[in-house]
């Protein structure tokens, strides 16, 4: 990680930062910027609209996987409720425009604040629990939300099982709404957001917050006996990753133009977890790669009419062959072959 | 420094501590707690540091009633503890974990702690990969960071040889004396307690049996009958 890649050691040293010789660091930054630009532009010239759409879906799943992986890696907590925030972002955005008469940007802001309040309250209740209870509580909260949108009394707002068509007029955060439906432009946007969020979470992982979260994961009692408040860092981490899930949800609804109960469903949360495990949870690159791989694999398996069967087989094979995820496994292999500095 | 008043702790229907009174002065002396298995020694330490809420009674620290205060609050006020079963960060290097805690507690004299606990040769190693005896020193070092005013140690000699135990006690005794702080040590090794502690309290069946100098405790008939027997 310290030599410029976005993979991270599971137990990254507390004091290690982006160290190393200055030219090496500069090279890594230049290479990263070129990668960011090339990734945003080159596929739009080479790939069809269909492939770009699949890729964009993969990036959004990768963003969700990134949020789940960060919490697993840094705090040792597995969240199974990513979909409730992902889909909830879309619903709140749509309701803000259609029922509350807000402009798209204002609806986005209000939806973001409501989600912030929701995850902060939920987090305050559940981050103190043990990891298993935490996982079950995130699952329960997610299921409650996904069933709430189907309530007859809320049908006027949520559209019930039909979901909501989202008509966006004008601009969102200065971007013309029509661009979000363009596969090439949306790919570039999703790519840029995924890379920036990945870098941001990587930075948080290397920050003091990341070090404290890992130490709490390691030995919470010792942290309390060392004078640390172990609640606030975990709550902060939980809120942070849910904001990433919200960003993915906003991008999804802006691109798709509709939001449905499926976006809140358990399958989104489990797909997220699978994408994170396939790609590798110990860095930012793995979950995004996992999301892309999952998206393209699902399309391929679907074309053969054996989606669930082949997905199950693929998950088993990947996790057996790459227990640290594809990116984690390749990173370890490159270290063993001496392509990367030992301990980096 | 520390005053325990009528402290009782129950585990369900079992009363582990009954109306225990104890006073610990901050005069640079180690205060040893001894007693047979099940006497309530570790429970007493847990109640003092906030790990277990007392059923009744009070814990006063520097004159303040801290019975309801959190563990982390007590630590930030200078009450530190080490554990019977070593509690370190197994996957962090020794230096990383010491620095993490030192930064949080604003202690810029980490080198002193490293020197006192003789950890200079292990700083870059992950704690889970060093010998158990060294891990115990890391555990104590974590408690020493932030210049605590009261040090609570639960069987620091557990898992160590008699020589290692005496060496560790010697380290702690010197440190407590140099800094003029208070330390409460629960320990099974009676010889180490009598050799290094300036004051000794004996518990038996959850009750306070006696408190005094090592000499007085050795000569106390109740203590001999209940615990020491011919060991003294």
Q: Which of A156-170, A329-343, B63-77 has the lowest mean pLDDT?
A: A329-343
What does the domain layout of chain A look like in residue ranges? 22-265
pLDDT tier for residue A26 given thresholds of 50, 70 and 90:
confident
Best mutation target among A76, A212, A218, A227 (most B Cβ atoms within 10 Å) is: A227
Q: How far is CA A27 from the centre of its chain?
A: 28
pLDDT tier for residue A3 given thresholds of 50, 70 and 90:
very low
Measured in angstroms, the CA of B69 and the nearest CA of chain A are apart by 12
Provide the pLDDT for residue A341. Answer: 53
Mean pLDDT across chain A, nearest whole number? 88
pLDDT tier for residue A33 given thresholds of 50, 70 and 90:
confident
Q: Which two tokens stand for residue B96?
A: 């990383």
Task: Choose between A188 and A344: higher pLDDT.
Answer: A188
Would you call A15 and B99 a contact, using CB atoms and an 8 Å cutoff? yes
User: Across residues A63-92, what is the average pLDDT?
Assistant: 94
Measured in angstroms, the CA of A206 and the nearest CA of chain B are apart by 13
pLDDT tier for residue A21 given thresholds of 50, 70 and 90:
low
Provide the pLDDT for residue A196. Answer: 94
Q: What is the pLDDT of residues A4-16, one digit of tens each?
A: 334 344 344 444 4
Would you call B89 and A15 a contact, using CB atoms and an 8 Å cutoff? no
| pLDDT for residue A318 is more than 90 | no
What share of chain A in percent tops pLDDT 70? 92
Q: Which residues pair with B153 in a beta bridge?
A: B82, B185
User: Across residues A47-67, what is the average pLDDT?
Assistant: 95
Provide the pLDDT for residue A340. Answer: 57
| pLDDT for residue B232 is more than 50 | no
Please indicate if any CB of chain A lies within 8 Å of the CB of B25. no
Mean pLDDT across chain B, nearest whole number? 89
Give me the CATH topology for the region B2-78+148-228: Rossmann fold (3.40.50)
Set of chain A residues whose Cβ sits within 8 Å of the Cβ of B101: 226-227
**Residues of A at the B interface (Cβ-Cβ below 8 Å)?**
10-11, 13-15, 208, 211-212, 214-215, 218-219, 221-222, 224-230
Set of chain B residues whose Cβ sits within 8 Å of the Cβ of A224: 70-72, 75
Q: What is the pTM of this model?
A: 0.85
Set of chain A residues whose Cβ sits within 8 Å of the Cβ of B70: 224
Long-range CB contacts (within 8 A, 24+) of A91-95:
A91/A149, A91/A158, A91/A164, A91/A259, A91/A264, A93/A166, A93/A250, A93/A253, A93/A259, A94/A164, A94/A166, A94/A253, A94/A259, A95/A157, A95/A158, A95/A164
pLDDT tier for residue B191 given thresholds of 50, 70 and 90:
confident
pLDDT tier for residue B156 given thresholds of 50, 70 and 90:
confident
Provide the pLDDT for residue A8. Answer: 41
Of A214, A56, A306, A302, which Cα lies nearest the Cα of B89? Answer: A214
User: Across residues B131-154, what is the average pLDDT?
Assistant: 90
How large is the angle between the packed helices A82-98 and A266-279, nearest 10 degrees?
A: 130
Q: Which of A59-73, A117-131, A308-322 has the lowest mean pLDDT?
A: A308-322
Task: Kindly state the DSSP code that residue A265 receives in the 8-state scheme.
Answer: S
> Within 13 Å of residue B131, how many CA atoms lie on the same side as its CB?
9
Set of chain B residues whose Cβ sits within 8 Å of the Cβ of A234: none
As a 3-state breakdown, chain B gives helix, strand, coil percent values, each rounded to 5, of 40, 25, 35
Distance in angstroms (rounded) separating the CA atoms of residues A124 and A118: 10
pLDDT tier for residue A22 given thresholds of 50, 70 and 90:
low
**Which residues, 6+ apart, have CB-to-CB distance to B148 below 8 Å?**
B75, B78, B79, B80, B181
| pLDDT for residue B195 is more than 90 | no
Distance in angstroms (rounded) separating the CA atoms of residues A95 and A105: 13
User: Across residues A286-310, what is the average pLDDT?
Assistant: 91
Measured in angstroms, the CA of B27 and the nearest CA of chain A are apart by 24
Task: Choose between B74 and A319: higher pLDDT.
Answer: B74
Set of chain A residues whose Cβ sits within 8 Å of the Cβ of B143: 225
User: Across residues A15-24, what is the average pLDDT?
Assistant: 54
Would you call A226 and B90 a contact, using CB atoms and an 8 Å cutoff? no
What does the domain layout of chain B look like in residue ranges? 2-78+148-228
Distance in angstroms (rounded) separating the CA atoms of residues A32 and A291: 20
Provide the pLDDT for residue A1. Answer: 35
Residue A43, sorted as left (phi over 0), alpha (psi -120 to 50) or beta, turns out to be alpha
User: Across residues A22-40, what is the average pLDDT?
Assistant: 81
Would you call B88 and A225 a contact, using CB atoms and an 8 Å cutoff? no
Q: Which of A4-18, A159-173, A227-241 has the highest mean pLDDT?
A: A227-241
Would you call A11 and B91 a contact, using CB atoms and an 8 Å cutoff? yes
What share of chain B in percent tops pLDDT 70? 99
| pLDDT for residue B128 is more than 90 | yes
Q: Which of B90, B92, B142 sits opposite A14 (nearest CB)?
A: B92
Q: Which two tokens stand for residue B217?
A: 């405790």
Of B149, B62, B75, which Cα lies nearest the Cα of B105? Answer: B75
Provide the pLDDT for residue B164. Answer: 79
- In B, minimum Cα distance to A210 occurs at B100
Interface of B with A in 84-103 (CB under 8 A): 87-93, 95-97, 99-101, 103
Q: Which of B72, B93, B103 sits opposite A13 (nearest CB)?
A: B93
Of A328, A143, A108, A135, which Cα lies nearest the Cα of A238? Answer: A135
Task: Choose between A59 and A324: higher pLDDT.
Answer: A59
Please indicate if any CB of chain A lies within 8 Å of the CB of B125. no
pLDDT tier for residue B186 given thresholds of 50, 70 and 90:
very high
Distance in angstroms (rounded) separating the CA atoms of residues B39 and A85: 52
Please indicate if any CB of chain A lies within 8 Å of the CB of B31. no
Interface of B with A in 34-53 (CB under 8 A): 49
Q: Which of A182-186, A199-203, B53-57, B165-169 has the lowest mean pLDDT?
A: B165-169
Give me the CATH topology for the region A22-265: ABC transporter involved in vitamin B12 uptake, BtuC (1.10.3470)
Looking at chain A, the number of H-run helices and the number of E-run strands are: 15, 4
- In B, minimum Cα distance to A231 occurs at B72
Q: Which two tokens stand for residue B167?
A: 């060496």
As a 3-state breakdown, chain A gives helix, strand, coil percent values, each rounded to 5, of 75, 5, 25
Q: Which of A201-205, A228-232, A303-307 has the lowest mean pLDDT?
A: A303-307
């Amino acid at each position: 990680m310290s030599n410029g890649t976005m993979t991270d050691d599971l137990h990254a040293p507390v004091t290690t930062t982006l160290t190393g010789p200055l030219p090496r660091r500069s090279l890594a930054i230049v290479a990263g910027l070129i990668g960011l630009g090339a990734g945003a532009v080159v596929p739009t010239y080479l790939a069809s609209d269909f492939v770009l759409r699949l890729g964009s879906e993969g990036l959004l799943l990768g963003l969700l996987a990134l949020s789940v992986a960060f919490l697993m890696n840094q705090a040792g907590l597995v969240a199974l409720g990513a979909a409730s925030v992902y889909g909830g972002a879309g619903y709140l955005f749509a309701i803000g425009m259609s029922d509350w008469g807000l402009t798209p940007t204002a609806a986005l802001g209000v939806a973001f604040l409501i989600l912030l309040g929701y995850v902060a309250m939920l987090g305050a209740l559940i981050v103190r629990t043990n990891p298993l209870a935490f996982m079950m509580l995130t699952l329960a909260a997610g299921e409650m939300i996904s069933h709430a949108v189907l309530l007859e009394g809320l049908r006027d707002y949520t559209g019930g099982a039909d979901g909501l068509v989202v008509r966006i007029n004008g601009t969102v955060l200065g971007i013309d709404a029509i661009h979000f439906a363009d596969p090439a432009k949306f790919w570039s946007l999703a790519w840029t957001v995924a890379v920036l969020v990945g870098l941001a979470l990587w930075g948080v992982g290397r920050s003091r917050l990341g070090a404290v979260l890992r130490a709490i994961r390691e030995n919470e009692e010792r942290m309390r006996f060392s004078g640390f408040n172990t609640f606030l860092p975990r709550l902060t981490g939980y809120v942070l990753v849910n904001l990433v899930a919200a960003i993915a949800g906003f991008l999804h609804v802006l691109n798709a133009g509709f939001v449905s109960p499926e976006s809140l469903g358990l399958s989104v949360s489990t797909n997220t977890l699978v994408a994170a495990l396939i790609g590798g949870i110990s860095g930012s690159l793995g979950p995004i790669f996992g999301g892309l791989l999952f998206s393209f694999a699902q399309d391929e398996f679907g074309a053969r009419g054996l989606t669930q069967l082949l997905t199950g087989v693929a998950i088993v094979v990947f996790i057996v062959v790459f227990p640290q995820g594809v990116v984690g496994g390749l990173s370890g292999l490159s270290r063993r072959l001496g392509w990367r500095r030992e301990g980096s | 420094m520390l005053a325990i008043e009528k402290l009782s702790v129950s585990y369900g229907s079992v009363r582990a501590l009954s109306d225990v009174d104890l006073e610990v002065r901050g005069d640079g002396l180690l205060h040893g707690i001894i007693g047979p298995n099940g006497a309530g020694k570790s429970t007493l330490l847990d109640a003092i540091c906030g790990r277990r809420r007392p059923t009744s009674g009070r814990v006063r620290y520097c004159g303040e009633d801290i019975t309801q205060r959190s563990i982390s609050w007590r630590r930030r006020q200078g009450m530190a503890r080490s554990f019977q079963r070593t509690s370190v960060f197994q996957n962090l290097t020794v230096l990383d974990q010491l620095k993490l805690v030192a930064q949080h507690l604003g202690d810029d004299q980490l080198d002193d702690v490293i020197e006192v606990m003789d950890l200079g040769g292990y700083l870059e190693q992950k704690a889970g990969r060093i010998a158990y005896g060294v891990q115990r020193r890391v555990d104590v070092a974590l408690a020493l960071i932030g210049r605590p005013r009261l040090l609570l140690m639960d069987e620091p000699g557990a898992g160590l040889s008699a020589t290692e135990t005496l060496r560790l006690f010697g380290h702690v005794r010197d440190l407590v004396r140099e800094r003029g702080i208070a330390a409460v040590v629960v320990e099974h090794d009676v010889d180490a307690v009598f050799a290094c502690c300036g004051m000794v309290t004996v518990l038996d069946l959850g009750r306070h049996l006696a408190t005094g100098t090592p000499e007085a405790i050795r000569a106390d008939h109740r203590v001999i009958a209940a615990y020491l027997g011919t060991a003294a």
